[in-house]
Amino acid sequence: MNMINNNTPTAELQKLDAAHHFHPFTDKAGLAKKGARVILRGEGCWLTDSEGHRILDGMAGLWCVNIGYGRRELGEVAARQMMELPYYNTFFQTTHVPAIALAAKLAELAPGDLNHVFFAGSGSEANDTNIRLVRRYWQVKGQPERRILIARWNGYHGSTMGGGSLGGMKPIHAHGGRIDGVEHIGQPYWWGEGGDMSEDEFGLMRARELEEKILELGADKVAAFIGEPVQGAGGVIIPPKTYWPEIQRICRKYGILLIADEVITGFGRTGNWFGSQTFGITPDIMTIAKGLSSGYAPIGGSIISDEVAEVVGSGGDFNHGYTYSGHPVAAAVALENLRILQDENIVEHAANVAHPYLAERWAKLADHPLVGEAKLVGLMGSIVLTPNKARRARFASEEGTVGLRARERCFANDLIMRHVGDRMIISPPLVITPAEIDVLIDRATKSLDECYAGLK
Ligand code: PLP
């Protein structure tokens, strides 16, 4: 094989890619026909592909590049750490400076008494940790039969067997099954499932499904409830305001641990450091990843309350860990990312640019004939495509057909938006400026116009 580089012709890169690179969440046969888009570099909110297109990244990669692309400081920190100590583990009473510093920093940033960090390499791994952690918690407390976790249909918690089982995505369950001891309840998706109820009534109804499920299973069998403050991969489902307070009340009533999966909502995405703050939740455990390093290095973790850490810690060894738990290079990169987020007031910037500037322009998209609803919290937003807004109707075509077309128009217009069924979503880097928001809205509108014209 010849050496390839950024100057290799796109067709050659695509051919090699299709021949040897088995992609996540991709149809291999489709890839061989069409070829993957090859991204070469990034700067701020912008990507350049191998065809020379300058693309506005409305998704921050996979919801993760919170500080934007191209921050040299992170590369410099990584290089320094690689020279100093490229690897050492944190098993068996050993530690190192980057892991200590990052854990202490996270304890400072996280709300309440979330003061202890168990590191993982990703969000999926962190959720696998959480399964073992909550079961161990109840075992040490003398209630080993409390081992069921309750989650939501259409939630997403990763794609390892544990994370994929917590998630409520049937296409993932269909590939390889799921682990036992996980139960699902309905999602707080008013537009799609709320019928004639008001949003507030529906939020309460869906939260109370948790209580029904607990009573059905027996509270003495339930270990924890897990949910994303805002479902991301499920289509940016922003819950009615009645939902989370009721979930919190029910968890407290039955003594069930609450896990907030903040893999997307953490580190500024909703306009606060954590989505739990935006929605007034006090979790016992938070899952983190993505924005923790802005995607510059693979790292995730669980931030654990004093009480949970004390109980699990009192049981002797916790028989769990990853070779890369607290990896020194990833930890150093994450720490530098947090420094930048903090020193440059990027979380405040996200809140200020989201409301009112983006929020007003986003809301106007609901006037488009193809759009039913346009919702936003901080810098994550969704629009629903519909043939009839008043009836909140679905298209006659298979779910996702129109969404896919709209996404393809976005790609053709050098804007990355994602579609989840017939919902279109954004989650841009938090450093996006008002001028870039104008570009995003203009390109999104043009893409919707083209998609709409194609339907007639
Ligand atoms: N949890 C949530 C809420 C996520 O959105 C994701 C990824 O999108 C994960 C967990 C899994 O994280 P990872 O892909 O790093 O394993």
Which protein residue's CA is at the shortest distance from atom 12 of ligand 1? 123
Which protein residue's CA is at the shortest distance from atom 10 of ligand 1? 157
Question: Across residues 44-50, what is the average pLDDT?
Answer: 98
The span from the CA of 147 to the CA of 217, in Å, is: 11
Query: How many C-beta atoms lie closer than 10 Å to residue 289's C-beta?
Result: 29
Give the percent of the chain with pLDDT over 70. 100
Ligand 1 binding residues, C-beta < 6 A: 62, 122-124, 127, 156-158, 163, 228, 232-233, 261, 263-264, 287, 289, 300
Give the percent of the chain with pLDDT over 90. 99
Question: Across residues 82-87, what is the average pLDDT?
Answer: 98
Structure tokens at 82: 């690689």
Q: What per-residue confidence (pLDDT) applies to 257? A: 98
With a cut of 70, say whether residue 13 has pLDDT above it.
yes
Which protein residue's CA is at the shortest distance from atom 13 of ligand 1? 123
Question: Across residues 88-102, what is the average pLDDT?
Answer: 97
The span from the CA of 389 to the CA of 392, in Å, is: 5
Cβ-Cβ contacts under 8 Å for 402 (sequence gap 6 or more): 370, 385, 395, 422, 451, 455
With a cut of 80, say whether residue 2 has pLDDT above it.
no
pLDDT band at 1 (very low <50, low <70, confident <90, very high): low
Question: Across residues 269-287, what is the average pLDDT?
Answer: 98
Q: What per-residue confidence (pLDDT) applies to 456? A: 80
pTM value? 0.98
Q: What per-residue confidence (pLDDT) applies to 80? A: 98
23-37, 68-82, 181-195, 295-309: least confidently modelled range? 23-37
pLDDT band at 23 (very low <50, low <70, confident <90, very high): very high
Ligand 1 nearest atom to the CA of residue 287, by list position? 1
Mean pLDDT (the chain, rounded): 97
Ligand 1 nearest atom to the CA of residue 290, by list position? 15
Element (H, E) at 301: strand 300-305
ipTM over 0.95: yes
